[in-house]
Amino acid sequence: MNTPLPPRWAKVLLLWLHPENTIEEVEGDLDELYAYSYQRFGKRKAVLRYLLNVVSVLPPFVRRRKTQYKPSLSLSPDMLKNYFKIAWRNIVRQKAYSILNIAGLSIGMACSILILLWVQNELSYDRFHDRASQLFRLTCSAGDFKTAVSAAGMAGGLQAQLPQIKSGVRISKLSPMLFEVGEKKVEEKRVFYADSNFLEVFSFPLLSGNTATALKDPGAILITEETAKKYYGTSDAVGKTIRINNNDNFTIAGILVNSPSNSHLQFDAIIPMKTMAKWNGDLQNDTWNNFNFYTYLELDVKTAGSVPAQQKVLLQIANVFKARGQDIKLDFQLQPLTDIHLHSNLQIDLPGHGNIQYVNIFLIVAIFILVVACINFMNLSTARSERRAKEVGLRKVVGANRYQLVFQFLGESLIFSFLSLVIAIGIVYLLLPVFKMLTEKTLAINLLDGKLLLSLLGIAVLTGLLSGSYPALFLSGFAPVKVLKSKMRVAGGNLLFRNALVVTQFVVAIVLLVGTAVVYKQLDFIKERNLGFDKSNLLYLPMTGELGGKQQALKASLAQNPLTENFTVISGLPTNHESGTIDVIWDGQTAKNQVVFPSFDVDENFVKVFKSQLLAGRGFDKAFSGDSSSYMINEKAMQVMGMNLENAVGKSLTFGETKGTIIGVVKDFHFKSLQYAMEPLVLRLNKWGGVVVVRTTAGSNEQAIKALGRINQQLNPAFPFTFGFLDKDLDNLYRSEQQMGSIFNLFAGLAIFISCLGLYGLSAFMAEQRTKEIGVRKVLGATVAGMVGLLARDFLKLILIAIVIASPIAWYAMNKWLQGFAYQTTLEWWVIALAAILATGIALFTISFQSIKAALMNPVKSLRSE
């Protein structure tokens, strides 16, 4: 059958006016309808209807179908494949640029990962205990003197009276002991006594032995697996005996799992408190006024969770303390177990604490280093944007929308950041041993740990997004017409932004440099500070074992040998002196029990051997028989007591139970870390021993050590010879500062290195862009030096701005840090100037490679191509 055709002109009208995207279906439909009416109603009516229908689908009557055109999805496999291909081509084609980028990013990431590992370790302290959140340490303070110890009777007494306290555990201070198994004799330092419920309150598991009874028997001892291996070669040592201090035999009741590195309690052996109770008066009397034990309290869940409830407990503790008839004015605190490692600034505390300040500082440093690395990436990508402008233009012309381009470039930076992550993990593996040495911590990176893996991926994604965001927005914003007509100019705004980024990088680098310099300066200051005595060539021998009982013989043999004759016996070393009392009464005292007086027991030779200075009166002297009740005080004590150099000598002073008189005033000397301000000190005549300190002459140290060893061998054959140098011990006090210094140094160096990578890339790019200009200038007679200057000037300006911004920041930050020390080095302007000059020098050096290369180029080559 012949298909009837509608009027042509109407169809033309339709084709002309009907919306383009629906014309096909509408035309077909109308034809079909025409044929239908043609058959049913005849031609005339069909044409009429057709015309009517056509009009009804012409504007303005017709509704336009929204474009249903579907662009190929960004996530379609083809596009993804294309993105990867382009990204890979870009990486491979611009090798130098890719290496700079990846090196910067991966070093930055490696730094951050290392720091994060360290921070994570610091923050994880003591959290492994099952009831960590319920455990608190009872600490107390008298005025400014804050201490971690409490009295022996408190744990039991408080638990009996306060229902909120579920249990209390006492731990003694660390007491070094000589362990002897067969032929093997070693002085173990990390040993303490603990109450029988120690293992129940703390989660230190036993490898073998009974948790409930292990610490009950006074003749028992627990040793760690490591210690067991050391002495017996096996961890199966339960029931064997250890001879301690050449005196008592202990039976091993259990083997402890080695104390975790993130525990503030570090031990090699634990002895039941009952053993100590055999000879310790504090324990026998359950004393409330001798502060010699660490007391840990387990509170019930409700109290542990609320601060007001804890305040109430503290109030009750104070009341109980008062009710015991203690008139000492003391404040008690409950220190959460998990705060001990980082937030403790107490005296008489267990060694090896961290510092929350350093954790924060390093976290900030980690973030900054990562930012510096990201900035590199941003800078290099935007600087090279012209290279990709054509690609962007073409993609846009073919129909890419902006989101797709943003997605593409972000994806590319993510590829970079993940590549860098892989390399960074490699670097971390390589650097871990070095870092371990610096921090003295066993850090491990365990990639199977889900949390760690997640945070690593997090870092990579964050880095990728951060570094890719600006280039992505910038590149995707190109107008296709402009870039394809090659009319692209590097926009002023872009240049400004890039310059701001370079300035930021150098601000960070300079601040870190100043930080390093100040940390070292402060360390130097502390080491060089006059301590009030001459610390060099002081050799000491602790009176262990039988030496304590043979003092007369010891003194006689020391005096016989010219190498050791210049000796003194003092109660403890002036490194971190740990004891004090407030039970001091003097002439003209206004209020009792207000000030803590540390005390030293020294003998007649003290002033001479230590080369300390007598300001008034005299030192202890054998010629005066009454000196056993005489006291010397330091300047600070004199001021505290309201005396002066004229009237102090001869005043009466009661220290503890002994009433006596002041016979001399010594110039202040430091007997604690320089982090603490000078405290008042009382010196008593030493009648019991302690440590022998020998002043040797320079160069004769070796012989003096040998002589001491022989004396020890004669008098104290059962104990190994131990000795030390006082100045080394003093230096060790500033271990954590030293660590901080070296870590700071490392990261400052890396930050600068990363910045320089970026600078190198930028300068290479700039030099390349200005090839023609340089060529023309050279042809016109510019010198090489002039050209280098021209190229360096732009960067120099930025670095100067960075110096201006960095100086006050560094000044402020380092002043803040120094405030933590009682004795601070001065922060001088030249430190900052030095850092600035150093940064400038390094930057110029970096730039010089490219600028000199560019300046030396033969202008013929650069100009020929046009």
* Cβ pair 320, 156 in contact under 8 A: no
Among 15, 20, 24, 624, binds other proteins (CB under 8 A): 24
Among 39, 56, 213, 234, binds other proteins (CB under 8 A): 56
Query: Going residue by residue from 57 to 96, which x/- string records binding to other proteins, judged by CB under 8 A?
Result: xx--xxxxxx------------------------------
Nearer to other proteins (CB atom), residue 15 or residue 96: 15
Which one, of 396, 293, 474, 384, lies nearest residue 71 by Cα? Answer: 396
Stretch that binds other proteins, among 24-32, 90-98, 414-422, 521-529 (CB under 8 A): 24-32
E strand or H helix that includes residue 403: helix 402-439
State the minimum distance, in angstroms, from the CB of residue 455 to other proteins.
43
State the minimum distance, in angstroms, from the CB of residue 68 to other proteins.
9
Nearer to other proteins (CB atom), residue 36 or residue 128: 36
Q: Is 95 exposed, middle or buried (0-12, 13-18, 19+ CB in 10 A)?
A: exposed
E strand or H helix that includes residue 171: strand 165-172
Q: What are the CA-CA distances from residue 528 to residues 316, 523, 608 (Å)?
A: 47, 8, 21
Question: Should residue 828 be labelled a site residue for other proteins when binding is judged by CB under 8 A?
Answer: no
Question: Should residue 41 be labelled a site residue for other proteins when binding is judged by CB under 8 A?
Answer: no
> Which three-class secondary structure state does DSSP give residue 762?
helix
Which one, of 748, 124, 113, lies nearest residue 432 by Cα? Answer: 113
Question: Should residue 236 be labelled a site residue for other proteins when binding is judged by CB under 8 A?
Answer: no
Nearer to other proteins (CB atom), residue 47 or residue 582: 47
Q: Which long-range contacts (CB under 8 A, 24 or more apart) does 23-31 make?
A: 26/57, 30/6, 30/54, 30/57, 31/6
Stretch that binds other proteins, among 32-40, 608-616, 669-677, 856-864 (CB under 8 A): 32-40
State the minimum distance, in angstroms, from the CB of residue 21 to other proteins.
11
Among 10, 33, 174, 553, binds other proteins (CB under 8 A): 33
Question: Should residue 524 be labelled a site residue for other proteins when binding is judged by CB under 8 A?
Answer: no
Question: Should residue 29 be labelled a site residue for other proteins when binding is judged by CB under 8 A?
Answer: yes
State the minimum distance, in angstroms, from the CB of residue 38 to other proteins.
13
Among 30, 178, 372, 507, binds other proteins (CB under 8 A): 30
Question: Should residue 622 be labelled a site residue for other proteins when binding is judged by CB under 8 A?
Answer: no
Query: Going residue by residue from 258 to 297, which x/- string records binding to other proteins, judged by CB under 8 A?
Result: ----------------------------------------
Distance CA 406, CA 473 (A): 6
* Cβ pair 120, 306 in contact under 8 A: no
State the minimum distance, in angstroms, from the CB of residue 78 to other proteins.
23
Question: Should residue 11 be labelled a site residue for other proteins when binding is judged by CB under 8 A?
Answer: no
Length of the chain: 866
C-beta neighbour count of 89 within 10 angstroms: 10
Q: 168 has which bridge partners?
A: 297
Among 10, 17, 47, 55, binds other proteins (CB under 8 A): 55
Q: Which amino acid is at 722?
A: T
Phi, psi of 451 (to 5 degrees): -65, -45
Distance CA 179, CA 181 (A): 7
Q: What are the CA-CA distances from residue 723 to residues 608, 718, 720 (Å)?
A: 21, 16, 10
Question: Should residue 10 be labelled a site residue for other proteins when binding is judged by CB under 8 A?
Answer: no
User: Residue 164 region, left (φ>0) first, then alpha (ψ -120 to 50), else beta?
Assistant: alpha
Question: Should residue 20 be labelled a site residue for other proteins when binding is judged by CB under 8 A?
Answer: no
Stretch that binds other proteins, among 27-35, 176-184, 694-702, 782-790 (CB under 8 A): 27-35
Question: Should residue 842 be labelled a site residue for other proteins when binding is judged by CB under 8 A?
Answer: no
Q: Is 789 exposed, middle or buried (0-12, 13-18, 19+ CB in 10 A)?
A: middle
Stretch that binds other proteins, among 28-36, 163-171, 773-781, 850-858 (CB under 8 A): 28-36
Helices 385-398, 450-476: inter-axial angle, 10-degree rounding: 80
Among 11, 17, 27, 462, binds other proteins (CB under 8 A): 27
Among 10, 11, 13, 22, binds other proteins (CB under 8 A): 22
State the minimum distance, in angstroms, from the CB of residue 61 to other proteins.
5
Question: Should residue 17 be labelled a site residue for other proteins when binding is judged by CB under 8 A?
Answer: no
C-beta neighbour count of 569 within 10 angstroms: 25
Stretch that binds other proteins, among 20-28, 110-118, 435-443, 525-533 (CB under 8 A): 20-28
Nearer to other proteins (CB atom), residue 36 or residue 849: 36
366-405: contacts with other proteins (CB under 8 A): none
Nearer to other proteins (CB atom), residue 61 or residue 830: 61
Nearer to other proteins (CB atom), residue 27 or residue 546: 27
* Cβ pair 617, 660 in contact under 8 A: no
State the minimum distance, in angstroms, from the CB of residue 65 to other proteins.
5
Q: What does the buried/exposed string (b/e) look like for 336-364 if buried means 16 or more CB atoms within 10 Å of the residue's CB? A: bbbbbbbebebbbbbeebbbeebbebbbe
Q: Is 583 exposed, middle or buried (0-12, 13-18, 19+ CB in 10 A)?
A: middle
Nearer to other proteins (CB atom), residue 49 or residue 166: 49
Question: Should residue 6 be labelled a site residue for other proteins when binding is judged by CB under 8 A?
Answer: no
Q: What does the buried/exposed string (b/e) look like for 283-309 if buried means 16 or more CB atoms within 10 Å of the residue's CB? A: beeebbbbbbbbbbbbbeeebbeeeee
Q: 659 has which bridge partners?
A: 654
Total interface residues for other proteins by CB under 8 A: 25
Binding site for other proteins (CB under 8 A): 22, 24-33, 36, 49, 52-53, 55-58, 61-66
